Chain A
Amino acid sequence: MSIVEFRNVTKAFGNVTVLKEVDLNIEAGEVVVLIGPSGSGKSTLLRCINALEEIDGGDLVVDGISVREGRSKVRLIRQEAGMVFQQFNLFPQMTALANIAFGPRRVRGVGKAEAIGQARELLAKVGLADRGHHYPSELSGGQQQRVAIARALAVKPKLMLFDEPTSALDPELRHEVLRVMQSLAEEGMTMIVVTHEIAFARQVGSRLIFMEGGKISVDGDPAELLDNPENPRLREFLQHVH
């Protein structure tokens, strides 16, 4: 069974159809890199997976649960699918450590001491062991994003969704976030990553998907597609992002 299954999914905002009858299966362990022009529906596709957007047609099954099954089931999906946002969205009133411990405590009901202990381990894993007591406003963008990744991992998801995790960062801060994502992929985490980082797609991705106009138009092996893009619009797109 696939961990994510889009079956003929349609999503519209008002009378603008943003996802058009999308079919897509993602297996556990895959690292899917999603690229495409702005407005092609990449974020929307990602946000449908954890039901931050409600689908209008078809069905979408995540880890055996349909997004249409109702609120409590949707919460289960969200616990299995961690999300990292372009703007980090760390909780500003909490320290880095408290941000990470928050999910386990309030979602999984883990005790305080245990949650803090786990948070420390995760903070070390993203290379910020000495920053636990800092508030988000006291961290650089790259550090904030690494804390945000740790916060999502703390709930122990089976799947991680990244929506342009490095787009809000200065170029010299991007690699520290990409490195954390790469080590996560090497540990076998299932990942769906919207990004313009073509080098990351080639090195880390196991699958590349090119979206345009709410549809998946190219889907295949990253190295093959990047070296020899047969689709003319993909070829043009790659010239622009390089």
Chain B
Amino acid sequence: MEFDWSVVVEAMPALLSGARLTVLIALAGLVGGLVVGVVAGFMRAYGNAILNAVAFTYVEVIRGTPIVVQVMFIYFALPLLADLRVNPMTAAVTAIVVNAGAYIAEIVRGSLLSVNKGLKEAGLALGLPVWKVLAYIVGPIAFRRMIPPLGNQFIVSLKDTSLFIVIGVGELTRQGQEIMAANFRAVEIWSAVAVLYLIMTSTLTLILRVTEKRMRIL
């Protein structure tokens, strides 16, 4: 068969609007996921028994279930359980936040615990309260070590947005699917979709590379 570029050109506006939505969901999800993950990670690493148990349960439940099931639960089951109406976009962003948050919590916990215990003691021995030791000494070192695994998680989450096709969010994969169903040009459409994802993920990789270079990873 012949690769027909005009199909790609014609599909591009719809695909780009889908890509915009993908970026939007991913961005909101990652910012939210980072906040949730940092809080849960600190609870795991430094919290008392109760905080630790809460964070542990959250991480286990989320890591132990597929993201498709999570978003279906939020979109279809939650309204029945709690009489809450959620639109697809809210369900998608919530799912990414909750899902990425659990994985990021483990990244945060691991990085915090990887910091040599002697540094915490050196800070305490100067007469600092624990929160200052975490804020000025352990936190910054742990943060530098988080960048590579965080980058990994960001890319995974960005691609996970394609699964929200199941609740009808018009993101990139969904747009591709709809156009394909109308014109049956699978090769052109899925190639274009793949390339758009690659552009998004490689931009993310580039941003992370630069961040990593600017901070000395310790």
Contact = CB atoms under 8 A, between A and B. Distances in A.
Contact of B128 (A89, A92, A106, A151): A106
Given A89-B122, A93-B216, A106-B136, A155 B116 contact: no
Interface string A84-127: 01010111110000000011001100000000000000000000
B125 interface: yes
A42 B146 CA distance: 37
Contacts of B124: 52, 78
Interface string B105-136: 00000000000101101111111110010001
Contacts of A107: 126-128
B127 A79 contact: yes
Contacts of B119: 89, 91-92
Contacts of A71: 129
A106 B137 CA distance: 11
Nearest to B137: A91
A155 B129 CA distance: 15
B218 A85 contact: no
A155 B128 CA distance: 11
Interface string A146-180: 00100110010000000000000000000000000
Given A92-B141, A93-B141, A106-B132, A87 B127 contact: no
A75 interface: yes
A76 interface: yes
A164 to B, nearest CB: 13
A117 B119 CA distance: 24
B136 A50 contact: no
A106 B121 CA distance: 15
Interface size class of B (residues with CB under 8 A): 20 to 34
Nearest to B132: A106
B127 A92 contact: no
A93 to B, nearest CB: 6
Contacts of A83: 122, 125
B144 interface: yes
Interface in B196-218: 216, 218
Contacts of A152: 125-126
Interface magnitude class on chain A: 20 to 34
A75 B128 contact: yes
A74 to B, nearest CB: 9
Contacts of B148: none
Contacts of A92: 119, 141, 218
A78 B129 CA distance: 11
A103 B127 CA distance: 8
Contact of A91 (B122, B125, B127, B216): B122
Contacts of A52: 121, 124-125
A205 interface: no
Contacts of B126: 78-79, 82, 102-103, 106-107, 151-152, 155
B144 A75 contact: no
10 contacts: A50-B125, A52-B121, A75-B129, A85-B121, A85-B122, A91-B123, A92-B218, A93-B144, A148-B122, A155-B127
What 4 A-B pairs have minimum CB-CB distances, sorted nearest first?
A79-B127, A89-B122, A78-B127, A89-B118
Interface of B: 116, 118-119, 121-129, 132, 136-137, 140-141, 144, 216, 218
Given A92-B218, A93-B216, 13 more contacts: A75-B128, A75-B129, A78-B124, A79-B126, A82-B125, A83-B125, A85-B122, A87-B118, A89-B122, A91-B123, A92-B119, A93-B144, A103-B127
